[in-house]
Amino acid sequence: MRDIPTGARIAVVGAVVGAGACALPVLRQGVPWAAVALLAGLYALCEWPPRCPVLAGKVSVPIAPGSFFPVLLAAAFLLPPAAAALVAVPGALIAYVEEEPRRVRRVWRAAQLAIAASAAAGAHVLLGGREALGGRGAATAPDFPYALLPAGAAALVFCLVLTALDGLILATAERRPPRTAWRGLLLRSLAPHCVHGLAGLMMAVLWRSGFGPPAALFVLLPMYISCWVFAQYHRERAAHRATIRALVQAVDIKDRYTRGHSERVGRASEMIARELGMEEGRLEVIRFAGILHDVGKLGVPTRVLRKDGPLTPEERAVIELHPEYGHEMVRGIGFLGEARAAILHHHERLDGSGYPYGLAGGQIPEAARVVAVADAFDAMTSTRSYRRARPVAAAVTELQRCAGAQFDPRMVGGLVRALSRYGWHVEVTADEPGPAARGNLPPPGPVKAPAVPAGPVADLLPTPPANGRFSPLADVAEPGPRPRPEPGLPGPRPSNAQGA
């Protein structure tokens, strides 16, 4: 708990206290303990396989929580609010958790689900849902369609409580702005919780029927099928990430001077996108765009990337083709979405002087404008073998100076706000051992001061300019604009005379 922000600790303790208050009435109420034990054991059994040493990795199980919410909603339909709160606790405490601190996350999840189940049960009782379910025997059949109303209200309350608490922990633990912490949570959760509510209602009706609790277990079959589909989806996403890691490792091996640059640009791009309030679904795509922005260097000859002397104009033209090479490499990877356009256009500039096509202003895709700022920021603040890193404050000042001409001011502002909120720590990016490159510290030994005035920021290349001097911010001469493409056309590619 010591590493958790104070606000998050207060939220966790408050949730635990709230869950205890929800469950406290069981001490003075008549509670069907057999039903509580059976439903709690069933929910725990559903959440247990991912942690079982024998079954883990051998069966298709859900990767994220929520797949077995119908059991909790069935408990909310069948039990008093205090008893429904108890059903969620054992399963939440043994559920699989990927990230640290696992114990705190499990306690938070148990408290969150207990409060949500209790609130859902209260809403269900308030609307007469217990009577609408009927009882054992055909004489007291469920009152359809009215039974759908209290069940739907309970599922809605369950969803509202969970999303409210999810937003609270995002705002306190990850320090997200309140306007973005809750954005989109309810809309993304509403449809799945409605489906869970219908499945929970089916379990409750079968439970109260003449066949008794064993009949309700048949609902677990379609639930486990949905879990299998969910697990397959996550396996596919894991394969996507593995593909991206392989591409990034290939770039790092080929261009050793920018090792780690891709991951940091991806992280900075995600920070900017999150600060701008982009939807969760876009954040991962923007991060992929930042990670893969230099994948086109795989198409650049290694002798050019690792050249120790100055680049000739022809060699510089070859390196300037890397956005187009990168776009060609990833154009068939469908899950990248708008990241492909960002890879192609991350060297465009607002004033139209960038490359490869000289796009200007709103012609440049939004994702490319995000990656351009993240790329330039990391290029300035990371240490390379031939020059030291610039302090974060100096890099931010230069980005602000170039905003409006080279960079989108919105993206620069988003980065500044994200840095003030989270800070920035640079890892080793060159073949230099030791912590010299961490935290924007210069490498050991004397470093020559810049000999030329600062110009607009450009992406760093692994070779010094012909005069042997470095601009404080750019290691390459600024390329001139290329002919702009006609609308809807890909634009001209450089001739062989400009290339290798």
Residue 299 Cα to chain centre, angstroms:
29
Mean pLDDT, rounded, of the chain: 78
Q: What distance in Å separates the CA atoms of residue 325 and residue 400, rounded to the nearest whole number?
A: 30
Average pLDDT of span 292-308: 85
- Residue 56 token pair: 């883990």
CA nearest neighbour of 180 among 192, 167, 199: 167
Residue 422 is predicted with a pLDDT of 83
Residue 488 is predicted with a pLDDT of 35
DSSP class of 301: -
**Three-class SS of residue 404?**
coil
pLDDT bracket for residue 475 (50, 70, 90): very low
Q: pTM of the entire structure?
A: 0.56
Question: Which residues fall within 8 angstroms of residue 214, CB to CB, at 6 or more apart?
Answer: none
Residue 406 is predicted with a pLDDT of 93
Per-residue pLDDT tens digits for 223-259: 677 667 766 777 787 787 888 888 888 887 877 666 7
Residue 500 is predicted with a pLDDT of 33
Q: Is 356 within 8 Å of 324 (Cβ atoms)?
A: yes
Per-residue pLDDT tens digits for 330-380: 888 888 889 999 999 999 999 999 999 999 999 999 999 999 999 999 989
- Residue 168 token pair: 């609270």
DSSP letters for 417-431? HHHHHH---PPP-SS
326 or 250, greater pLDDT = 326
pLDDT bracket for residue 454 (50, 70, 90): very low
Residue 14 Cα to chain centre, angstroms:
26
Per-residue pLDDT tens digits for 254-275: 776 667 888 899 999 999 999 9
